[in-house]
Structure 1
Amino acid sequence: MSDRAIPEETHAMASPATDEPPAVMLACHDLTRVYREGPQDVTVLDGLSLEVRAGERVAVVGSSGSGKTTLLNLLGGLDRPTRGDVRIAGESLLELGSAELGHFRNRRIGFVYQFHHLLAEFTALENVALPLIVRGLRKKAAESRARELLAKVGMAPRADHKPGELSGGERQRVAIARALVTDPSLVLMDEPTGNLDQTTAASILALMDELARTTACAFVVVTHDPALAAHQDRVLKLDGGQLSEQRTGG
C-alpha cells in the first residue's frame, strides 16, 4: 500500500475548442466479485468492464439481485473486487490504503444511497456541510457552500431541521445535496429519485444536467425508474454479471 498523499487535482475537462473526447473519469476492467455462501461460491459480477467519461451520465438497470448495488459499492471503494481494478480520474482504488481511500472518496466521489443515511442528531445544513468540515474547511465556509446546495435542491427553508422533522423526499434531497457539496469527479446514485415527487425529481435531473455540463462530473445511476434511466446519456443493463448497452445518445 502506498503512503503518498492524494494530490489536489482539478476536474478533467475537454476543451470546447478541440474535437478531443472528454477524459475517462471512471474505468474498470475485468471487475469480478465472488461471495462465499456456505459451501458454494456465488459470482455476482463476472469480468465486467466499464468506462464513463467526464460529464457523462450512465444509468444501470437490471432485475433485483442482479448485482447493481454490489457494482456501486465496488466503484465507490466500499468493497474490494475478487479480481479486476477500478480507476477514478486515473487513480487505482486498489493501490490506496484505507486512510488514503477515505481521503480520496471525500474529494472525488459523491454517494446518494437508496436510503438517505443522514445523521439524526444533525440538521440538514450540518449533514451537508460535514464532508467539507471533514476535509478541513472552516465551518463558516462549509456551511455557506452547504446552503448553496440545499437551495439548489429546494431545501433552503428546511436547512435548520433535523432528519426526523423532514419527509422521506426531503431527506433524500438533503442526501443529494450532501453528495454534491464536495464537487466530486464521480457521483454514484442508488435510486436517487425513488422517494421524490415528479416536480422535485425533475429539479434533481436538471441539477445533474447542470453539473455534468459545467463541472465535468460523471454520474452512474442505478435505477428501476424508466424515466430516470431514459434521461441519462447511456443505459446499461446488468445481467449475468455483465453489462450490455441498451441505449446511447441522451
Structure 2
Amino acid sequence: MSDARHAPSPHQETAMQRTAGQTMLECHDLTRVYREGPQDITVLDGLTLTVNAGERVAIVGSSGSGKTTLLNLLGGLDRPSRGEVRIAGESLLNLGEAALGRFRNRHIGFVYQFHHLLAEFTAVENAALPLIVRGQRKKVAEASAMKLLEKVGMASRADHKPGELSGGERQRVAIARALVTDPSLVLMDEPTGNLDQHTAAGILALMDELARTAACAFVIVTHDPALAAHQDRVMRLDEGKLSEQPRASTAS
C-alpha cells in the first residue's frame, strides 16, 4: 500500500510527467490573414516551429512584424487562418472555446506586455487567480501564489492592489500569475521590459530554474538583444516568416 504522506503534489505530478527534450509546442503551416477593406493582409505566412520541454526560444523582429499575433495564436487566444498549433500533444483546433479555456489554464502561462491585472484584487489574489479558476480553495491557491511572489521579490507587496504598485512591480506579479499553475508552456511578451537590471536578472534565473527542474518550455517575444541572447534559440520573424538566428544577430 502506498503512503499518502509521500504522494507527489499536483505541482510535482505535472513536472514529473514532462521530460526535457519532449516536444511541447508544434505549429505547422501557421498562417494568419486579416481582411483590411478590399485587401487581405498576410501577417504570418506558413510558419513552422517546434519547442521542446525545458527549452527557451526568443522571437525577435521589428515592430509590426506579427510577434504578438504569433503569441496569440500559440496560446489559443486567436484562431489561425490556416495551419495547426499543438501543445503537449493536443491540437488546439480540436478544442471548443470552453475546452480551450480549460486547456489554457492547465498548460499555458501568459505574461502580457501590459500586465492585465485585476484592479480590485491584491497582488496575491491576482497571482492566485488561475488556481482559483481551476477550483482550488482560495487559501491553498494563495499559499502557492505567495511562493512565486517570494521568488520574484514581491512578497512584501502581496497585499497591495495594482494601483499601488509600480509598473515593474505589476510586471512581477503578472510573471508570478503566469507561473503559478506550473504550465507546460509559458508565452512572454517583453517580460523584463519594465524591470531594472537586478530584478530582470532574478526573473531570468527563475526561468532557467523552471526550464531545468520542471521542464517548462518558454517562448519569449522581445526587442532586447541581451534577453534574446540568454535563451537557447533565437528566431527572427520577418515578412511573415520565421528564421533561426545566430546569437550575434539578435538586434531588432
For normalisation by structure 2, the TM-score amounts to 0.91
| Aligned twin of 1:152 | 151
Find the residue that maps to 2:143 and give its secondary structure: helix
Per-residue Cα deviation, 1:25-63 (whole angstroms, up to 9, x for no partner): 000000000000000000000000000000000000000
| Aligned twin of 1:204 | 203
Q: CA deviation at 1:203?
A: 0.3
Q: CA deviation at 1:10?
A: 3.3
CA distance in 2, matches of 1:70, 1:47: 14
Find the residue that maps to 1:199 and give its secondary structure: helix
**Unaligned regions of 5+ residues in structure 2, if any?**
1-10, 248-252
Q: CA deviation at 1:13?
A: 3.2
Question: For this pair of structures, how many residues does the alignment match?
Answer: 235
CA distance in 2, matches of 1:145, 1:48: 36
Correspondence 1:39-118 to 2 at 5 A: 39-118=38-117
Find the residue that maps to 2:14 and give its secondary structure: coil
Confirm or deny that 1:169 pairs with 2:173.
no
Find the residue that maps to 1:10 and give its secondary structure: helix
**Unaligned regions of 5+ residues in structure 1, if any?**
1-7, 15-20
CA distance in 2, matches of 1:138, 1:163: 23
Letter in 2 for 1:13: R
Q: CA deviation at 1:111?
A: 0.2
CA distance in 1, matches of 2:109, 2:128: 13
Q: CA deviation at 1:106?
A: 0.4
Confirm or deny that 1:13 pairs with 2:12.
no
Q: CA deviation at 1:211?
A: 0.2
Question: CA contact under 8 A between 2:14 and 2:182: conserved in structure 1?
Answer: no
| Aligned twin of 1:4 | none
Q: CA deviation at 1:247?
A: 2.8
CA distance in 2, matches of 1:64, 1:13: 34
For normalisation by structure 1, the TM-score amounts to 0.92
CA RMSD for the aligned pairs?
Answer: 1.3
Per-residue Cα deviation, 1:197-241 (whole angstroms, up to 9, x for no partner): 000000000000000001111000000001100000000000011
Higher helix share: 2
Q: Between the two proteins, what is the percent identity of the paired residues?
A: 82
CA distance in 2, matches of 1:232, 1:22: 15
CA distance in 1, matches of 2:160, 2:89: 39
